[in-house]
Amino acid sequence: MSLVPGLGIARGMALTLRRFFEPKVTIKYPEDRRDPPHKFRGRLQLLYDEWGTLKCETCFQCAQACPIECIDMGGMDTRGRFHVHWGAPETYGERREESALRRSGRPVPDPAYRPFDVVDLAALDAILDEHDHDPARMLQILEATQAAYGYLPVAALKRISQRTGAWYAMIYGTATYYSHLRFEPADASRQAAAMDASRPTEGTYLTALGTALAGAPRPRAKRARA
Amino acid sequence: MTVVGRSWDRLTLPGKIIFTAVPVLIILSVSLIAAIALLGGLVVDLLANNLPIVRFVVAVTVVLLMTIPTAFLIIYMEMKVIALMNLRIGPDRVGPFGSLLSVVHGLKVLMKEDFTPTGADPLVFTWAPVVTYLASVMTLLVIPFAPGFFGQDLNLGLLYFFAIGGLSVVGLLMAGWSSYNKYSLLGGLRSAAQVISYEIPLTLSVVGLILLAGTMSLNQIVLNQSGWFTDWYVFQQPLGVLIFFIAATAEANRTPFDLTEADSEIVAGFATEYSGMRFGFFFFAEYVNVFIISALTVTLFFGGWNAPFPWPWPVDLALSPGQLGIGLLILVAIVPLILTVAFAAPIWIVSARIKSWQALLGGFLLANLFVMAMVGAVAYIGIEWVAGLLWFMGKTYVFVFTFVWMRGTLPRVRIDQLMDFAWKWLLPAAFLNLFVTAAAIVVAQSVRPS
């Protein structure tokens, strides 16, 4: 209650009159659409290509770009050979048990572990020395490694990870991103055979599909170009 | 099939229409001309001999027809203005800026089922909205819209206004009683209590004005206020205006006194059982009432159709096109061209991206606007009722806007507050206004006997 009778009414009327001239908040929906919020980055979703396989190349660019580091990813690499994961093991659901084991000091069995070819790492050590063990020069290191071995052996990648201190996942992501880097010797048929051996279901399916479509079966792997 | 039938079948649809319409039109126009030639003088004589009756019939027709666009306009204003005050956009789909939405509402109401509840008194139930509506419309007959533009210049115009306006209570009571519904009956009684309570301060608030004006003819009251706007009665009766406006708000059942149908709080009162166009008529009456109350406020206190100040530069429009002779013909032929080019030139010059035909089109439209503005200005200066109607409508719609504005702002009062306010505040204030005015008149007359 104000002292002057009618003052409240006058102030209310003044308020509505002011509102009358103010810009309106309505968005005419079908014609106009509100811009998404400034930091909206879309929906996180794994997409499948037309053959029903995951399009994700596990390059970890999304995880590196994520400003709040909400992306943990892990699983078999694109060749189905060994585990790659991004993120601390503690936060990573599939690896929680493993993490507990590791803290208990026991040896951790990795169900995805597959013994890989032993290669002579002397050449790699020379390359690393030359590049000063600098993780920031990862691409040059990887290119030099591929020049030395003809491809990027898993043992070499692990060694790079140990020596430079970069996460294995980071190295793996860099290597998968550049199409001129490869993980197998440039031998498509051997690689395809290996693929068939490791993932027989998919190989059979693809062969059957190629026959059914009466065309050439698609190249097994995008990277097998040589 | 005959030859005629075969030829008829060969015609396309437009051909058939033309072949039937043209002879019918010829016959109709010939017979119309013949009728005018034979009976025209007779009819004109008949009309001239019964001019008051003709005037009355025309006035009633015009007033009845006028209520329809008025109500549509006010409904649209209500939707749009309140929306804008709520920071919404409001109607914008039908017509330019949604201005045809109220027409759509009207059509919708017409097409709805018109329901009569079991046990209702069908006769009274049907006539209640008509009574309410007509009570509003008939009051329009005495309102002077412009010099010479009024239905009847009754010397008891104000009394007629309040008497007929008070009849709307009868309509509300009829509606409430005949609905065969306790809520409707209670709502009707509630509205009757409100309207009758507020009629007393409403009527008393203008008695002071009647003392000042010395007449109850609305036309004369308007004439008394001619001249500068300081002659308006609002400056002699400020309290009277306030009381009148508040009481009129309650009388028209508008927010914050719309207790008769407090749609968001209690059952809609007398209109509970109504549907379709009979329901629509109540709201038609309400919106016409808003217009009428605004018009009466303007007429009584704000100078009616008088401009707020006399035109300071007297213009002598001694236009006589006939004097120009053959020059007039040349003028009619050339002036549109010259105007179009004259208005197109600046558009064409202002940007090289504007093509010449676009500039000419714009120039043509601008020239039309210019000519219309000039014709309007000449009409405003030269014809008295054009200016009067403009001022009257302008002022009236300012008050209509105020009613809508109040509806967008003020919350509804409680029924006890409503009654307290009428009897404990408005009525004493109206008496005070009356006595002070009367005393002032007596004093003025004794000091300056004239």
B391 and B336 in a single domain? The answer is no
Residue of A nearest to B256 (CA): A9
Identify the burial level of B300 via C-beta atoms within 10 angstroms of its C-beta, where 0-12 means exposed, 13-18 middle and 19 or more buried.
buried
Contact B87 A17 (CB under 8 A): no
Number of C-beta neighbours around residue B131 at 10 A: 21
Residue of B nearest to A14 (CA): B409
B149 and B258 in a single domain? The answer is yes
Is B297 within the bounds of a domain? Answer: yes
B123 and B267 in a single domain? The answer is yes
Is B135 within the bounds of a domain? Answer: yes
B211 and B278 in a single domain? The answer is yes
Contact B84 A19 (CB under 8 A): yes
> Tell me: the pLDDT tens digits for A166-201?
888 888 888 888 888 888 777 665 666 666 677 667
Residues 43-62 of B with CB under 8 A from A: none
> Tell me: the pLDDT tens digits for A200-213?
677 677 777 777 77
Is B257 within the bounds of a domain? Answer: yes
B192 and B259 in a single domain? The answer is yes
Query: Hey, is the C-beta of B85 within 8 angstroms of any chain A C-beta?
Result: yes
Instruction: Give the C-alpha separation, A129 to A110, whole Å.
Output: 31
B221 and B104 in a single domain? The answer is yes
Is B27 within the bounds of a domain? Answer: no
B242 and B391 in a single domain? The answer is yes
Instruction: Give the C-alpha separation, B212 to B222, whole Å.
Output: 13
Residues B272 and B428: beta-carbon distance below 8 Å: no
B117 and B138 in a single domain? The answer is yes
Q: Which two tokens stand for residue B39?
A: 């009976």
* Domain hosting residue B335, numbered range: 321-374
Q: Tell me the pLDDT band of A126, cut-offs 50, 70 and 90.
A: very high
**How does DSSP assign B264-286, residue by residue?**
TTS--GGGTT--HHHHHHHHHHH
pLDDT score recorded for residue A111: 58
Instruction: Give the C-alpha separation, B450 to B448, whole Å.
Output: 6
What amino acid is encoded at B384 in this protein? E
Cβ partners under 8 Å of residue A204, min gap 6 = A196
Number of domains observed in the structure of chain B = 2
pLDDT score recorded for residue A114: 58
pLDDT score recorded for residue A226: 41
Is B4 within the bounds of a domain? Answer: no
- A-B C-beta contacts closer than 8 Å: 35
Instruction: Give the C-alpha separation, B145 to B391, whole Å.
Output: 9
Q: Which residues from A are below 8 Å from B408, CB to CB?
A: 16
Whole-structure pTM value: 0.69
Asked if ipTM goes beyond 0.85, one says no
- A33: distance to nearest CA of chain B, Å? 15
B418 and B325 in a single domain? The answer is no
pLDDT tens for chain B, 450 residues long, are 788 888 888 888 888 899 899 999 999 999 999 998 888 888 888 888 888 888 888 888 988 899 999 999 999 999 999 999 999 998 988 888 888 999 899 899 989 988 888 888 889 999 999 999 999 888 988 899 888 888 878 889 899 999 998 888 999 999 989 988 888 888 888 888 999 999 999 999 999 999 998 889 998 898 888 888 888 888 888 999 999 999 999 988 888 888 877 776 677 778 888 888 889 898 889 899 999 999 999 999 998 888 888 777 776 666 666 677 777 788 888 888 888 888 888 888 888 788 888 888 888 999 999 989 988 888 887 788 888 899 999 999 999 999 999 999 998 888 888 999 999 999 999 999 999 999 999 998 888 765
Query: Hey, is the C-beta of B84 within 8 angstroms of any chain A C-beta?
Result: yes
Residue A74 DSSP symbol = E
Residues B343 and B367: beta-carbon distance below 8 Å: yes
